[in-house]
């Protein structure tokens, strides 16, 4: 079977990138931020939204 054409490969890569971006935007709010916390010498990442009492962790 011959390899797909460069146009097909590029189109497929673009489709994958767009779907990944859409999934990310759907999952994480625009007004949030990623923050790290170290526990027992291991770094954990959280996504936080809001401020103060409104702040939430997944």
Residue 1 is assigned to a structural domain of this protein: no
Residue 50 is assigned to a structural domain of this protein: yes
Around Cβ 38, how many Cβ atoms within 10 Å? 8
DSSP string for 1-27: -PPPPHHHHHHHHHHHHHHHHHHHHHH
In the chain, the number of structural domains is 1
**pLDDT one-digit tens code per residue, 13-49:** 999 999 999 999 999 888 889 999 999 999 999 999 8
Residue 34 is assigned to a structural domain of this protein: yes
Residue 14 is assigned to a structural domain of this protein: yes
Q: How confident is the model at residue 53 (pLDDT cuts 50, 70, 90)?
A: low
């Amino acid at each position: 079977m011959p390899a797909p054409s460069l146009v097909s490969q590029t189109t497929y890569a673009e489709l994958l990138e767009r779907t990944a971006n859409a999934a990310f935007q759907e999952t994480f709010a625009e007004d949030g931020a990623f923050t790290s916390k170290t526990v027992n010498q291991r770094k954990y990442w959280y996504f936080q939204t809001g401020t103060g009492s409104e702040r939430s962790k997944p």
